[in-house]
Amino acid sequence: MKNSDLKNFMFGVSSSAFQIEGAAQTGGKGPSTVDTRFVRPGIADTSVASDFYHHWEADIELLRELGVKAYRFSISWTRIFPDGEGELNQEGLDFYTKIIDRLLEYKIEPVVTIYHFDLPQKLVDQYGGWLGRETIYAYEQYAKTLFEAFGDKVKYWISINEPLMVMFSKDFNGIRDHEGKAYERANYQIMYHMALAEKLAFKWCHELVSDGMIGPASAFQNIYPASAAPADVEAAMAAEEILSFTLLDLSVRGSIPARIAHTLKKQALYPETREEDVQLLQSESADWICFNYYASLCAEAYSGKDDSNMPQFFRSQQYRIVPNPVGAKSEWMIFGTDPTGLRLSIYKLWQRYNLPLMITENGYANSDTLEEDGHIHDETRIGYLKEHLDECFQAVEEGIPLLGYSPWSFLDSLSGREGFVKRYGLVYVDRTDEDLKDLKRYKKDSFYWYQKLISDCNKK
């Protein structure tokens, strides 16, 4: 690879507000769905998490020491608007101002996710969350407030993290009173309303942030046919189209792919729309596509076989998702790892959308051990990150505008469902699910490895 290819490559690291901040009821913050959801006994909740809220200065020092050029983090919607809309909480805005200013002082580019799973609970209570059109406008007010406050400092914006997960996860969307077909219908209504909200954010970003870039962070599912049988190939195409491209097409092209729209209508799952939506959906488009990639999957033709061991959003009557037999599996990486799949995902996204790309999540979950001497030897994570980064470098060398790579995660943080037993961080946070200990930070071997890699690339 030519040295100049990586000159502007954004080596980053990622996190999200509810997974690291803690202080869930501090500083005027209101409750969100991730605070009110049911947490299994023995698993940590959002109240302390990694306590970034009280450690932010020391944590940003760690970012500086790591040498990253970008830090992707999210803003907590209810720290800015405790009720999701209406009255602004200045203390919340001040908190993020300090963070952004410090990052810029250290020449670390803030990459800001506006909304990462933490929907204001008040919006759920009042409007049914994303089922109500009111939430579209609450999100608009929130996003516009951020562009007004930070538009002169933050260039890179992510509208919504993983809309796919928000559609399907009750923990995130807060919809508890719909089951079966009614819930399935709700999933697509949520998708549609989020797409409209996102377009309003695009509009304001384009108006208020000069040279700003905004787009979604897709939970991109790279799906191979389980065999060369045409029925399996068709199943894999359908799965990718439903799980990944439908949402991205809404963000970029402003419409649901024709075949998917046809199927949703046939199944009485097509969302309720209004005529005036078309104009909004098609007038604004994403400037870049961020995506999160952990593993790949396979699909086989639907045969009615039991798939209850799969997450609900993978179950369908058009295909059957199965683990990729090729990837190496481990305790938490149950679908196996597949670095090549990351590069193939880059190709697929580039071919379909021709937009700059950024990898905003990629990481290895492990139950890491803090040794007595304070070290954490996470060589499997190093191997995982190295193999995936090599695939990124190949794509850059081939001329694809991949702007950066920001692994998950900076600090050990609250996992989506598993609390602190499942760790992804480059920095170890000394706590368990049930014992807060001292929350001290320890740099894992992967921290030093990434630091050296960034520094070596800078010297080239």
Region of 50-58, 158-166, 261-269, 375-383 interacting with ligand BG6 (CB under 6 A): 158-166
Query: Residue 409: is the preceding peptide bond cis (ω within 30°)?
Result: yes
Burial classification of residue 245, based on how many CB atoms lie within 10 Å of its CB (0-12 exposed, 13-18 middle, 19 or more buried): buried
| Rounded Cα–Cα distance for residues 407 and 147 (Å) | 25
Residue 183 token pair: 């819930």
Q: Does 113 bind ligand BG6 (CB under 6 A)?
A: no
Tell me which long-range contacts 270-275 makes (C-beta under 8 A, separation of at least 24): 270/188, 271/185, 271/188, 271/189, 271/191, 271/192, 271/193, 272/189, 272/192, 273/192
DSSP letter (8 states) at residue 243: I
Q: Does 20 bind ligand BG6 (CB under 6 A)?
A: no
Nearer to ligand BG6 by C-beta: 51 or 361? 361
Radius of gyration in angstroms for the set of CA atoms belonging to the chain, rounded to a whole number: 21
Give the one residue of 85, 240, 277, 361 binding ligand BG6; rule: CB under 6 A: 361
CB 29 within 8 A of CB 423: no
Residue 335 token pair: 């679908």
Min dist. Cβ of residue 371 to ligand BG6 (A): 24
Q: Does 162 bind ligand BG6 (CB under 6 A)?
A: yes
Nearer to ligand BG6 by C-beta: 144 or 422? 422
Q: Does 440 bind ligand BG6 (CB under 6 A)?
A: no
Amino acid at 312: Q
Min dist. Cβ of residue 166 to ligand BG6 (A): 10
Q: Does 416 bind ligand BG6 (CB under 6 A)?
A: yes
Region of 118-126, 159-167, 275-283, 427-435 interacting with ligand BG6 (CB under 6 A): 159-167
Choose, from 85, 140, 198, 361, the residue flagged as catalytic: 361
Q: Does 433 bind ligand BG6 (CB under 6 A)?
A: no
Q: Does 417 bind ligand BG6 (CB under 6 A)?
A: yes
Q: How many CB atoms lie within 10 A of CB 7?
A: 10
Region of 42-50, 139-147, 415-423, 435-443 interacting with ligand BG6 (CB under 6 A): 415-423
Nearer to ligand BG6 by C-beta: 19 or 159? 19
Nearer to ligand BG6 by C-beta: 16 or 406? 16
Q: Does 408 bind ligand BG6 (CB under 6 A)?
A: yes
Q: Does 140 bind ligand BG6 (CB under 6 A)?
A: no
CB 135 within 8 A of CB 101: no
Amino acid at 72: R
Min dist. Cβ of residue 10 to ligand BG6 (A): 18
CB 214 within 8 A of CB 201: yes
Give the one residue of 89, 121, 135, 292 binding ligand BG6; rule: CB under 6 A: 292
* CA distances in angstroms from 49 to 96, 97, 322, listed in the order given: 18, 21, 33
Active site residue 162: yes
Nearer to ligand BG6 by C-beta: 83 or 433? 433
| Contact string (CB under 6 A) for ligand BG6, positions 215-244, x = contact | ----x-------------------------
Choose, from 162, 240, 300, 391, the residue flagged as catalytic: 162
Min dist. Cβ of residue 54 to ligand BG6 (A): 21
Region of 157-165, 275-283, 385-393, 436-444 interacting with ligand BG6 (CB under 6 A): 157-165
Segments in 42-82 forming alpha helices (H): 52-66, 77-80
Nearer to ligand BG6 by C-beta: 19 or 121? 19
Sign of CA dihedral 181, 182, 186, 188: positive
Q: 249 CB contacts (<8 Å, ≥6 apart)?
A: 255, 256, 257
Helix axes 379-397, 445-459, angle to 10 degrees: 30
Nearer to ligand BG6 by C-beta: 42 or 86? 42
Q: Does 263 bind ligand BG6 (CB under 6 A)?
A: no
Q: Tell me how far apart the 2 most distant CA atoms of the chain are, in Å.
A: 64
Q: Does 246 bind ligand BG6 (CB under 6 A)?
A: no
Beta bridge partner(s), residue 405:
11, 359
Q: How many CB atoms lie within 10 A of CB 27?
A: 16
Q: Does 21 bind ligand BG6 (CB under 6 A)?
A: no
Give the one residue of 161, 189, 244, 263 binding ligand BG6; rule: CB under 6 A: 161
245's torsion region: left (phi>0), alpha (psi -120 to 50) or beta?
Answer: alpha
List, by residue number, the catalytic residues.
162, 361
* Contacting residues toward ligand BG6, per CB under 6 A: 16, 19, 161-162, 165, 219, 292, 361, 365, 408, 415-417, 422
